[in-house]
Amino acid sequence: MKKKIKELLSYKHKRDISFSDYLEDMMKNPQPHLKLSTDIILDAIKSYGWKIKMRNGQPVISYNVFKDPFSRGLNAIHGQENCIKSVIDIIYSINKETGPNRGIVLVGPPASGKTNICDLLTKAVEEYVKNGNIKLYTK
């Protein structure tokens, strides 16, 4: 029963490895080990693709991850492309260390999509990790 639950939840088998085994694995294939958290977030967003749309006569990037592919669009974010682009630009600047060390605070009226942006980013990263694109280790 426990095994079936883990399979349904898409968990991969976890195993304990020694630090020397970790180093050996990293030397053989370093790319999955050498990612910053911002790289993981940006790669997860990119993995769902994007389109260029016209809004008020201006081209804007519409990221597919914010159309909520996880629950058939139930929590999709509409009309906030410029706000989402600002959030992604901040993540890029943190990744490139071009801006000051800072967090991201989403401010806006109720029901403007702040929580949905965070939830969809979290789900995108979870799915990206589940697909084996990176390797995560815990102590």
Q: Would residue 122 count as lying in a domain?
A: yes
Full residue range of the structural domain in which residue 83 is found: 37-130
d(CA 106, CA 93): 17
Q: Would residue 24 count as lying in a domain?
A: no
Residue among 108, 38, 99, 122 at smallest CA distance from 80: 108
Q: Would residue 92 count as lying in a domain?
A: yes
Q: Would residue 118 count as lying in a domain?
A: yes
Q: Would residue 9 count as lying in a domain?
A: no
Domains in the chain: how many in total?
1
pLDDT in tens, the chain (139 residues): 666 666 655 555 566 788 888 889 889 988 877 888 888 999 999 999 999 988 888 899 999 999 999 988 888 888 888 889 988 998 888 888 766 666 788 888 888 888 999 999 999 998 888 887 777 776 6
